[in-house]
Every structure is written in C-alpha cells, then in structure tokens.
Structure 1
C-alpha cells in the first residue's frame, strides 16, 4: 500500500503540472506585438520609404502645371569680319565691336497639353495608392508571421511543461524501482528502461528549449522588440469566443479588404492611366509665352552698330509633334497589352484569394470539429486512467499500465490545448487572407 500511495502521489503531481510556464515574465498579447511591429519592424521600413517616395512623385507631377522659366546670359569676344563679292573678289575688312553680350528670359505657361500633365498627376497618385496597398500587404504578412511564432511559442511552452512533468514523474518512479530492486521485487532491466526513458525525455526537453529560443528570437527581431526580450503568450487567448460567420461573409470581406486584390486593382488603373498618357502625345500642346531679350552689338547691320538691341514679346504658342501619329502606335499597342495583362493578373489574384478563403474557412470549421474530438479524447483518457488506477489498486495492473494511462491522459490534454490553438491560428489565417488581420 505504501507503493500505491507513492505512485498515486507521483501521478497527481504529473497530472497537475499542465499549463504554460511564465518564468517570471509578463504575458504579451498578439495585438500588442502587432502595434510594436507596425512602429518598429525593420521589414516594414522599406515599404514606408517606398510610400513616401511615391508621394514625392505626386509633387513632381504637379510641378508640370507650373510655368517654365528659362534665362540665359552670355558674354563673348567677336573677331573682325570681312566682305567680298559673290565671286570672293574685292576683299574688304569689316571692323566689328569685339565685346558681345546676350541676355534673355523666356516664360511659357502650359494651357493645354492634351491631358499629359493631368494624366501624369493622376498616374503618380495611383502609384502612391499602390504603394500604400503594398505596405498594407507587407504589414499583413509580417503580422501573420508573428502570429505563427506566437502560437508556436505557446504550443512549445505547453509541451515543455508536459515533458518536465514526465521527467519528474519518471525520476520518482526510478527512485521507487531502485527501492523495490533492493527489496528484490524489481528487475535491473526495468530500471535501465526507465533510465533510458529519462535520458530521451531530457534530450526532448533540450530540443524544445532550443526551439522556443529560436521562435522567440524570430518573433522579437521581426517585431522590432528590444534584444533579449522573452515573449510569454497570453493564456487567455484560448478563452476567446471567435465568430463563425458563413463562407459568403468571408468572401465579401476579402473582396473589400484584401490588400492583394486592392494592389491588383490599382495595377489596372495604373495601366489605363499610362495608356491615356501615351494617347496625349498625339494631341497638340498650347501655352502662353512671354519673353525679353537684350543683345549687342547689332550685327545684322553693315557696318555693325555698337549698341544693345532689346525687345519683348507675349503670345500663344501651339506645338504639334506630327511624328507621334506614326511613332506612338507601338507605344499605344504596348500600353493596351499592359492593361490587358493587369486585368488578367487581377482575375488570377481574385481566383487565388477566393480559393484561399474557401480553404481557410473549411480548415477553420474543421478545427472546431477537431476540438470536439480532442475533448472526447480527454474524457476517454480520464476514464481509462480511473479504470487503470482501480485495477492497479486491486493488483490487476502493472506500474507500466499506470504510466501508460497517465501519459495518454497528458497527451490528450496537450492535444486539447493544441486544438484550441489551431482554432485561433485558422481564425487569424482567415483574417490574413481577407485583409482584416
């Protein structure tokens, strides 16, 4: 009976050791990690910089509406000239003032550019929007990656607790076996087998700790947290009540919020605007012009007049690139193909998103079914443990049967926690696919 009480005490300690070890750290929620990553993740900075660069392109395109102002100043030395008859006879030297100067200012204000300036501005705005969608897409990828690290840390912390409990229980059973061996009621082979079990469990614990360290480093670095931070997942995440909306609702959310779809749509808009920009090359350009110049000396007179000639002008300038009628055809055809490619790319992206949402939704519901199965497994494992314990008390079962029953119960409880985590994982997977993470 002393042996039975000792074994019962060991198994009670083992079965009550479930849960996540916090190791004196403060639990951190996923939302807090997301906020930190949005502000400090090094992997997001290039996207933010690209977005800022795209915004600057808008300012550059808007500058096309401003007038063009050109000023030139030149100083020169003019050598003497000469005159001849048409047959190059009767050479006569022509004295010319040697100092020459030119100063001119020209102003052109675009009035009509065939839509080129407006299209350029709108194209820059579309590219800025696309850069924002690309940033959202990268942010969602980082958030989902962090979710995987976070939930894996939770799983391995739970597994570490179970393995540590198994090691403690196995070591106590070893002590009991050694005592029974000294009494002549146990075999050395049984002791060796349990020593091997403890050795394997200790190796498994080392691997688990290494995995947790790798996951923690990945999460901390990806989120931009301080080096050396130890992440302890919030255990209340398992108690969340998650929605179970139908598949059509999730598909509608993906259509409205998916960054990949938004990025593909902006690709179509950019291609169409680029096509309009090419068409604008076939239209005339109209602008208001004004200028002033002063030149000296006046060389059009003979002999030259050593004075400055100044004049100004205002008017309307019209230009038309006739060669665009036959040169822009190829560019326009290329732009049309690019637009068609963007439309086809959008259709392919939409199909991929639809398939992904459908798959994730089915897995999400499957996770709930898995939870029900694991809850039943825990119930059966507990029943098996009670039955085995009763049989052991009546000397109808071996100690190995008791340990097997205890391990089965612990494994079932571990799988139950993992099943709850899988529900959370597939829920966040749906949020990621639909662009709502």
Structure 2
C-alpha cells in the first residue's frame, strides 16, 4: 500500500525535478531513465494527486469516527417575553390571570456519553479503517497503472529512436549503393531501371523515417503532458537493458509461485477481499440497530423567572440532573428486516466477486508468464534472422557490383535487412512491456 512520502523523500525528489527543470531551461531536452520517470509520475500526475487526496481523506474519516466515542457536550441559552399566566381551578384559588415577570432567560449545560450502542460505534470505526485500506490500494493501483502507461510510452519512444537509427543506417547503405549504381550507369555497366529502382527504395525509406519521427513526437508529447512538463520538452530515453529477473521468469516454470505472489500483493484482488470484510461489517452495523442505546447524561439549568409558584417569582432557579438514558426505536422491529436481507446479499455478492477476482488474476498471471516466455523465444529467433538478413544483404550487394545478380535481388535483400532490424527492436520492447505487465499483475511494478 502506498502512502504519502516522507519529507526527506519529497525534498530529494523536488531537487531532482528542479535539476531537470534547469536542464530543460538550458536545452529544452531531458535525458531520463524509466525509474526516474516513475518517480516524477508519483509526484506530478493528477491521477496520483487525486488518489492521494482520497487516501488522506479516508484517514481523516477514521479520526472522525473515533470521535463518536467521546462524550458530547453543549450549552444553550434563551431570552424571551412571557405573558401573564392564566390559572383555572387550582384548588381554592380563584381562576384568572396573574401578573408575571415578563422578561425570561435560561441557560443550560448538557453532557452525554454513549456507553452502549450495540457495537455501532466500533463497527463504524472498523468500516472507516477498511475503506482507508481500500483507498490505499486504489492509490497503489493507480500508481502502478500510471507506471505501466508511462512504461508503454517510454518503450515506444525508445523503440522509435532505435528504429530511427535503423532507418538512417539503411538509408545510408541505400545511398552508398545508389552512388555505386550511378557510377556504373555513367560507365554504361548498369541500367537506368536499376538507378530508378534504388532511388525509389531510398525515397521510401526516407518517407517511412519521416512518419516515424512524427510518431516519436506524438509519444513525446503524451509523456510530457502526463507528467505536466512543458510541451516543448524533448524526452530522450536512456539505454534499456532486459532485467535478469525477466530472464528468470522466462526460463523457470514457476507460474504457480507467481500466482501466490499476486494473490498476496495485487491491489485489485486485495480490494476484493477487503470488500467482503466491508460487507460483513455493514451487515453487523445493521444488526446493531436491534439493540438499545444507553447513554450517561448530565444536565445543569439556570432559569428565570421561577414559574413553579403563583404568583411567579422574579428569581433564578438552578438544578442539576445526572443519570442513564435509554433510547430504542420500536420502528426497527419492522423496518430492519429488509435492511438485514440486503446486507446479507451484499456479503454474498462480495464473496462471489472475490472468487471471480481470484480466477481472473490467476489467468492474468498465467498469460503474462507465457507471453513473457514467448517474447524471449521470439527474440532469439529474430536475432538469428537479423544475422542471416545482414549476411544475405552483404553477399547480394557484393554480387551485384560484380554483375552476378540482378538489382531486384538487392532491393529484396535490403528490405529483408530493414525488416529484420525493425523486428528485433520491436521484440526487445515487447519483452520489457510484457515484463512490466507481469509485474503489475504481481503488484510489484
């Protein structure tokens, strides 16, 4: 469960952001690692701020509910006008109106302390504590969701810059080959079609590179917007290595162990467990209405005039009272039946949701484990294909210059080399994203 960071941690993070802001002011670019991006997300995204505010509110609710255990106290006063008092048939006294002090005022001090309420106060506190834990899990879930979203953007950006290098390398190779073809064409050793075909190939690569740069710009904007950075910020990802933990997950068949880890730490599943407890506490709260409320009370009053005599006397009367007060609503006998039925159904529904969450999480972890293992196997194959494609390109390009192959074969080999390089960068990013998805399922991202 995430909580508000300590002052020291916030200060360190503030210095980090300040340094980043100075770098932005100087060169409008920010070279940053994924871990540092996560730290900025915990502080800078509105979703995290909202979740944090809801968590802090739930903590205040706990304190508020605990206050219900404290005695209540109050004072009141009144000032008014009294008419003459009318008396009818009071013993031998003649009926009629008697003069009355017309100015009245009274003051009272009242105190009470609930000493028994059928467990209603304690249950309300327990409910507030459970809701606080749920709010903490929401904060953790939102934090991990933002991290996964940022990881996806970051990997897209990293992949985009890697593919940009691939295109630039292939464009350079294409231009180099085109120069050699132009020289051969000038010498009458190559056809005009060879020259045109390779010019079209280089042009196609340049157009693809232009589109790639546009995608990089969009992804860059998405990250900057999410973190509240200036729109002009250029985010440059640092080199990413595949963690050893990801490799371990891919080679060891430990899906059952991962499922146990997920059940203990996944925020969504932990919330489903807490919602069962919450439903049970609310059921107990409904049942507490079957019991009377017993309160210890004390009153002190100070009133003028004294109206318990005829004629009334213009003096203050003061009295105290202390005792037990019992309150019981008879309407609960016929109103609480439906509420109890609803509360019982809520418990059953929460229990079913917990079972469904467990099944869903088990499937999620299993598929995440398999996807990660598959992406590693895919990368191994693609490395081999990349090696073969590069060897094939070199062989065919050399053969073409020796007039042993056609230009169309060079074009095909060039395209195969480019596609092999691009597939490798895609596969590397896919491994990392699958790894982050698995960590999110485990509640460890």
Q: Quote the offset at 1:52 in angstroms.
A: 0.9
Q: Which of 161, 164, 171 is the matching residue for 1:160?
A: 164
Q: Residue by residue, what CA displacement relative to the aligned partner does 1:348-370 show, whole Å, maximum 9, x if unpaired?
A: 11111111111111111111210
Q: 1:98 to 1:367 in 2, by over 3 A?
A: same
In structure 2, distance between residues paired with 1:241 and 1:51: 32
TM-score by length of 2: 0.86
Match in the other structure for 1:356? 364
Q: Quote the offset at 1:342 in angstroms.
A: 1.2
Moved more, 190-199 or 97-106: 190-199
Q: Which of 90, 107, 112 is the matching residue for 2:116?
A: 112
Q: Quote the offset at 1:241 in angstroms.
A: 5.8
Retained in 2: the 8 A contact 1:388–1:402? yes
Q: Which of 75, 78, 99 is the matching residue for 2:103?
A: 99
Match in the other structure for 1:7? none
Retained in 1: the 8 A contact 2:258–2:442? yes
Match in the other structure for 1:20? none
Retained in 2: the 8 A contact 1:83–1:93? yes
Q: Which of 212, 219, 230 is the matching residue for 2:216?
A: 212
Are 2:428 and 1:420 equivalent residues in the alignment?
Answer: yes
Match in the other structure for 1:344? 352
In structure 2, distance between residues paired with 1:380 and 1:204: 23
Task: Specify the SS of the correspondent of 1:380.
Answer: helix
Are 2:52 and 1:44 equivalent residues in the alignment?
Answer: no
Task: Specify the SS of the correspondent of 1:340.
Answer: helix
Q: 1:142 to 1:123 in 2, by over 3 A?
A: same
Task: Report the RMSD for the aligned CA atoms in angstroms.
Answer: 2.4
In structure 1, distance between residues paired with 2:167 and 2:154: 20
Retained in 1: the 8 A contact 2:150–2:223? yes
Match in the other structure for 2:304? 296
Superposed, 1:232-271 pairs within 5 Å as 232-238=236-242, 240=244, 242=246, 243-244=248-249, 245=252, 246-271=254-279
Retained in 2: the 8 A contact 1:160–1:208? yes
In structure 1, distance between residues paired with 2:325 and 2:405: 106
Q: 1:106 to 1:100 in 2, by over 3 A?
A: same
Q: Which of 223, 227, 231 is the matching residue for 2:227?
A: 223
Task: Specify the SS of the correspondent of 2:86.
Answer: strand
Q: 1:239 to 1:112 in 2, by over 3 A?
A: closer
Retained in 1: the 8 A contact 2:194–2:407? no
Q: 1:33 to 1:381 in 2, by over 3 A?
A: same
Match in the other structure for 1:306? 314
Match in the other structure for 2:82? 78
In structure 2, distance between residues paired with 1:239 and 1:54: 37
Superposed, 1:130-149 pairs within 5 Å as 130-149=134-153
Match in the other structure for 1:28? 32
Q: 1:292 to 1:320 in 2, by over 3 A?
A: same
Match in the other structure for 1:366? 374
The answer for unaligned runs of 5 or more in structure 2 is: 1-26
Match in the other structure for 2:206? 202
Retained in 1: the 8 A contact 2:29–2:233? no
Retained in 2: the 8 A contact 1:72–1:103? yes
Match in the other structure for 2:63? 59
Match in the other structure for 1:327? 335
Task: Specify the SS of the correspondent of 2:234.
Answer: coil
Q: Quote the offset at 1:117 in angstroms.
A: 0.8
In structure 2, distance between residues paired with 1:249 and 1:31: 26
Q: Quote the offset at 1:326 in angstroms.
A: 1.7
Match in the other structure for 1:15? none
TM-score by length of 1: 0.87
Task: Specify the SS of the correspondent of 2:302.
Answer: strand
Retained in 1: the 8 A contact 2:163–2:425? no
In structure 1, distance between residues paired with 2:235 and 2:245: 23
